[in-house]
Amino acid sequence: MSTEGASSPSRLLPSLLGILLLLMGLAMLAGGIKLSMLGGSLYYLLAGLGLILSGVLLLAGRSAALLVYGVVLFLSSVWALWEVGLDWWQLVPRLSLFFVLGIVLLLPWFRRPLLRNGPAPLGTAVLSVAVVLAGGAALGSQFTNPGEISGELGRETADTASAAPAMPEGDWQAYGRTEFGDRYSPLKQITPANIGKLQEAWRIRTGDMPTAKDPVEITNQNTPLKVNGKLYACTAHSQVLALDPDTGKEIWRFDPKIQGPNGDDFRGWAHMTCRGVSYYAEANFTQSDASSTPASLSAAGQAIAASCPRRLFLPTADARLIAINADTGKVCEDFGNKGAVDLKAGIGPFTPGGYYSTSPAAITRNLVIIGGHVTDNESTNEPSGVIRAFDVHDGHLVWNWDAGNPDETAPLAEGKTYTRNSPNMWSLASVDEKLGLIYLPLGNQMPDQWGGNRTAGAEKFSAGTVALEIDTGKLRWNYQFTHHDLWDMDVGSQPTLVDLKTADGVKPALIQPTKQGSLYVLDRRDGTPIVPIREVPAPTGAVEGDHTAPTQARSDLNLLPPPLEEKGMWGATPFDQMLCRIQFKELRYEGQYTPPSTQGSLVYPGNVGVFNWGSVSIDPVRHLLFTSPNYMAFVSKLVPRAEVAAGSKRESETSGVQPNTGAPYAVIMHPFMSPFGVPCQAPAWGYVAGIDLTTSKVVWKHKNGTSRDSSPVPIGLPIGVPSMGGSMVTAGGVGFLSGTLDQYIRAYDVNNGKELWKSRLPAGGQATPMSYTGKDGKQYVLVVVGGHGSLGTKMGDYIIAYKLSE
């Protein structure tokens, strides 16, 4: 009996590998043919042919498979280095799988069965060199940081002081700490030298968790206040808690018991959130920084003030503005109708959840000034975006400013309706009482992606900042940042006010972060640019019935990403990277401001924005701006009305079919993702950055966040993930962020951006941290940890405070 085959290495393993390579090759060949027909890279077609040949040779037991696969891997490495250089995250989908298979093929169990007819020195050598080249590229990429900027601010002061309204250093009396919106704490106990001792001091749970009756996008974006010896926080369902700042113990709770048309069933609403409450103290009424003197209160007014001398103003999800006694948690009965003003008055009809204020009101002198969120892309007949000023004592309407009727600021007559579908302010205003001005960041007239029906008021005021006189609501100036906005570039960030040291002396500045990535620096007295703003040409070619603006405003101070390119497409593997390249070539993209189309257009930066409602934080002493820019592309596809499928439903305001009822097009929106559920654009998608405001230069910029909570395997790869939430900076030289998709609060050295400390959170921290001094004299850092429904972070109901250990 012959034993010739008994000692021969088995061909099973190389045959299995051959089948795998054959299937991979066929997939890449098919995709490569389509990509090449779209004018894309020929690499995938050629690599597919090489993989097919390698697979066939393996199945045939031929040693030439080593040579052919070695050539494929070698040329793939050369191509990858030519396209993206030593960029680790760009090299991963291009080479990692092929590199691993190259090593496998060199293993004796796979290689020896191919050498029955003699050694194959050339094939083995070529494959070995190819593996070394790919491995060397991977190793070399560990020493590069594409997209990052290293540097140091190198100063503790720019010889300027904060011009923000005075308050006790240990307080945080407004959403942005002051009505300047700088998110700057003058506390200095926590420093880069001792941050390692920062530890959790206390945590509580509010008990307000999402239910099956809530919208998908339920969020906890609250920044609590610390004033009047207490912490004040609100929850997604508009409950307000007063807490002991040292222990978190609940002092009182107010529940407005919000109701919609279907009672407590809020399904179908676009979203539900409460970013904060506002505080007013009667003692401040006569200590205003406003240019004009407040009128004296009548005897009746004095009685109202005495009954509720310290009050909170709560905007509820069912469109009420409620005044609450900050001491007791009881309603201030003399405000409005038994403690509440109905914000639906004069607004007209809207879909459930389609109008309310998601952001806290501005408090200035004796006024509480508030806008309202209007659901994006629901219809062309949406509520007015009117901004209204109410008396803080009795709630009577003092003035209203409607972008659709901007010259008429006298209170609207009873029974009348504000201009339908005028631009709204869903974010936060800022106030300069000395100048007597309030600054409003405005959104768009609906719908966002089709502007054929835009009114003159919308074309003038949309996607810009408006300055109104505090006393009268009269327009002082406005500056538009996106002309004829078709990309949902509404201004979602609170303007930040700071006095800037310039070559022409110190100027009162307003810094307006925007979704498109520009930071517009204006003289807040008259709206003239301090940092140059240039009108740059923009792509043309809107759909029939619409038009585009020939130019768009771009600030010289910006954190704009470079334009997308085919070679910048990404994926977890070479296959979904190839599919992302195909998507990229099939979509319309001519750079920033590519018009929406029925073909489908890429919007980059996407409508979530480089900057959103979290805005930025500014150290007015160091003249440093600290922020967390995001870079995520979205797809926007117009759908002719006749083609909109019956029963189509939106997933959120930034995903799914947006109906745009009344417009000739609906719009389908979604993030630009691969079929495997990862972004089609290469990382990083999120950074932290520091800007020197004396030079308008980016001093440092580093990837921020890991993949731990956004990948199937909970490994914290430092890839740089998006962040939703704001930053906070302290006089101690430490900045804080908690909004990244991974569940951490982090601390950074504001001088160089180095991560100094982090603490694991029990849920998503999509909020803005704040800092205060407790009754024990210690500095605390506090964050609301509640998650974000549409981002997919873990939901929770936590409030967590940290302080230095003894």
Q: Are 652 and 669 in contact (CB under 8 A)?
A: no
Q: How far is CA 8 from CA 12, 67, 115, 191, in A?
A: 12, 22, 10, 69
CA 600 to chain centroid, in Å, comes to 23
Burial class of residue 498, CB neighbours in 10 A (0-12, 13-18, 19+): buried
Read off the tokens for 292: 């004009």
d(CA 66, CA 60): 12
Angle of helix 12-37 versus helix 574-586 axis, rounded to 10: 10
List all residues 6 or more positions away from 7 whose beta carbon is below 8 Å from its beta carbon.
Answer: none
Continuous segment of H or E residues that includes residue 78? helix 64-84
Q: Are 460 and 474 in contact (CB under 8 A)?
A: no
Q: Are 601 and 707 in contact (CB under 8 A)?
A: no
Read off the tokens for 451: 């502007």
Please report where in the chains the tokens 């050629």 appear, as a residue.
46
Asked whether the bond before 125 is cis by omega within 30 degrees of 0, the reply is no
749 has catalytic annotation: no
d(CA 204, CA 618): 29
d(CA 70, CA 729): 53
d(CA 736, CA 784): 13
Q: Are 515 and 607 in contact (CB under 8 A)?
A: yes
**DSSP bridge partners of 746:** 737, 758
d(CA 616, CA 693): 13
Backbone angles phi, psi at 567, to 5 degrees: -70, -15
Q: Centre a 10 Å sphere on the Cβ of residue 586 and count the other Cβ atoms it contains.
A: 14
d(CA 98, CA 16): 16
Read off the tokens for 667: 């719009």
Backbone angles phi, psi at 510, to 5 degrees: -120, 125
Per annotation, catalytic residue among 485, 488, 546, 742: 488
Angle of helix 43-59 versus helix 64-84 axis, rounded to 10: 160
d(CA 332, CA 323): 5
DSSP per-residue string spanning 761-787: -SS---S--EEEE-TTS-EEEEEEE--
Read off the tokens for 645: 């499928």
Q: Centre a 10 Å sphere on the Cβ of residue 675 and count the other Cβ atoms it contains.
A: 13
List all residues 6 or more positions away from 673 whose beta carbon is below 8 Å from its beta carbon.
Answer: 679, 680
Q: Where are the beta strands (DSSP E) in 291-427?
A: 310-315, 320-325, 340-342, 355-356, 362-364, 367-370, 373-374, 387-391, 397-401
- Which three-class secondary structure state does DSSP give residue 525? coil
Burial class of residue 715, CB neighbours in 10 A (0-12, 13-18, 19+): exposed
**DSSP bridge partners of 331:** 324
DSSP single-letter state for residue 69? H
DSSP per-residue string spanning 531-569: S-EEEEE----PPTT----SEEEEESSB-PPPPP-GGGB
Active site residues: 488
